[in-house]
Homo-oligomer: A and B are copies of this chain.
């Protein structure tokens, strides 16, 4: 074990989740208690906070107030979608990061985000190594998309999955209230991986979920879809469909692009911005049936509904942040903390915290195994339910004030050298 004394920076990146702050809190709390960590800084708006010398001193926060981070959704330190260039092309940003690291004697860098963030970790780690600056870099995963390679699942996924399954059960009951025909199309997040949409199968497993589930892992065929909905509607007078925002036809064209002139918009990483799919499909089905058709977009509530988070997810996310600090201060660098699943002698799910190579994780997308879909690719098998169900267990211990969430309010005291 090699001892390295110095300050640490924790930053958050990418889209919000219900539990990304649980990870950040696990990291901050553990770092504040570690004798080798001389100062704990939060980078405001991720790597941009480092570049802009916009750091806050986490030791200045009230410990009780800080503990509310564990249950507060979105990124309490602020996020960014800033992608570092390759250092071989332009090393301006890296030189600036090194300058800031030296200014504050930063020897530990923890970055809390998705696969783009793991790429950022990887690039910073390599640059520091090449420039002879000793700094241990650890990635702390988060993504509701559950698409990071290596780890069994990702912090944030389970809480979103729980919200989706619960909401689908409630929609199921709502959609059955009248004795008139009703078709409901629910649009769920997930560009390339269908994990979130597949979570609707947890509601189906309880007898109160969608009849059909379409994920981007499989090509979507409009004619087959319409025929399937008509068949179910004819038999039951109701049909509920869950669709991933990223479903596409066999030529790779997004179904949302069929009717959506906004589909050419791109986000900061050049990904197409999707949306409006539920309304579009509802419009298609209205023409094809006599049913009332409703399109529902779960929208951003699926990623920030902390009130319905999984306590398992919260604890695992906290532990991911804690493990990152423990391992880094023990001498490990250039890894991402991840989860390996096992089952105890009673068959109960156990989460083990292990380390994964950043180079493997960065920019790889993990999709749902093909064999977890049913034969007609419009539903999930028992295997998926067996995978996801342990992850959503436990009700959030979110503190309340007047029966409303008590979310963290940070003072954000500017760091000084």
Query: Interface residues, chain A, CB within 8 Å of chain B?
Result: 15-16, 44-45, 48, 72-75, 78-81, 162, 165-167, 169-171, 173-174, 176-179, 202-203, 206-208, 294, 296-297, 299-301, 303-308, 310, 389, 392-395, 400-405, 407, 409
Contacts and interface: CB of A to CB of B under 8 A. Distances in A.
- The secondary-structure label for the interface of chain A is mixed
Contacts of A16: 173-174, 177
A169 B405 contact: yes
24 contacts: A16-B173, A16-B177, A73-B173, A74-B170, A74-B177, A75-B177, A79-B177, A79-B178, A165-B404, A166-B405, A167-B301, A170-B306, A170-B307, A171-B301, A174-B300, A174-B303, A206-B402, A206-B404, A208-B407, A294-B300, A296-B301, A301-B301, A389-B402, A392-B402
Contacts of A405: 166, 169-170
Given A394-B403, A403-B395, A404-B169, A308 B308 contact: yes
Contacts of A79: 177-178
The 7 closest A-B pairs by CB, nearest first: A74-B173, A174-B304, A170-B304, A79-B177, A45-B179, A393-B403, A74-B177
A73 B170 contact: yes
Nearest to A18: B170
A16 B178 CA distance: 9
A294 B400 CA distance: 28
B407 A173 contact: yes
Given A307-B308, A310-B403, A393-B402, 4 more contacts: A170-B307, A202-B404, A296-B301, A393-B403
A305 B307 CA distance: 12
A44 B179 CA distance: 9
A208 B306 CA distance: 14
A202 B401 CA distance: 12
Contacts of A81: 178
A179 B405 CA distance: 24
Nearest to A52: B179
A403 to B, nearest CB: 5
